[in-house]
Amino acid sequence: MATFLVILHGLLAVALLGSITHQAIAVVWPAQSKAGFVNAYRSVSSRAYVNANIILFLTVAALGSVIYPIYRVWVRTYLENARLYPAVGSFEIKEQLIALGLGLLPLYWLVWRRPEPASTSARTAVTLMLCFIVWFSFLVGHILNNIRGFFGL
């Protein structure tokens, strides 16, 4: 069951990573033309991604919180015994960033719900912060999930 949940957590995280990256690129580097792959990537409607990103973030965080106890009891103990302290620290940071991301979601919903000039900078900032949180968390989770292979343990 835990393995299934880890895989599901990872797959949904990939979907969230793609979705929020797409939105973030369209926010900071918009394009009017859809000619070519890069322009087409940049010219999407950013607003269309909001609800999907919120639902995916909540779902991935909820799944992560379900499998977190397994990490805390078995994996972290193993990492500490192997003296892989940066790996433990990376997960500690990931844990805090996910919590901060959860606190940002209401603001993210608000600034995209009714885009207005007064919220432009907030829209860009919140989207980029969530994008950073998702990328950092994804990379840390991916590396820790494969840490024995990465470090030849």
Residues engaged in binding another protein (CB under 8 A): 65, 68-70, 72-73, 76-77, 83, 85-86, 88-90, 92-93, 95-97, 99-100, 102-104, 106-107, 110-111, 118-119, 121-122, 125-126, 129, 132-133
Question: Closest distance between another protein and the C-beta of residue 16, in Å?
Answer: 18
C-alpha atoms less than 13 angstroms from C-alpha of 148 in its C-beta half-sphere: 4
Identity of the amino acid at 126: V
Q: Please, which residue, 11 or 80, has the CB nearer to another protein?
A: 80
Judge whether 130 and 56 are in contact, CB under 8 Å.
no
At 30, is the secondary structure helix, strand, or coil? coil
Instruction: Judge residue 57's burial from the number of C-beta atoms within 10 Å of its C-beta, 0-12 exposed, 13-18 middle, 19 or more buried.
Output: buried
Question: Closest distance between another protein and the C-beta of residue 103, in Å?
Answer: 3
Q: Please, which residue, 34 or 113, has the CB nearer to another protein?
A: 113
Enclosing H/E stretch for 123: helix 120-145
Q: Please, which residue, 50 or 97, has the CB nearer to another protein?
A: 97
Q: Which of 41, 40, 4, 51 is nearest to 21 (CA)?
A: 41
Question: Closest distance between another protein and the C-beta of residue 13, in Å?
Answer: 18
Q: Please, which residue, 3 or 118, has the CB nearer to another protein?
A: 118
Question: Closest distance between another protein and the C-beta of residue 31, in Å?
Answer: 25
Q: Which of 27, 71, 29 is nearest to 49 (CA)?
A: 27
Q: Please, which residue, 13 or 98, has the CB nearer to another protein?
A: 98
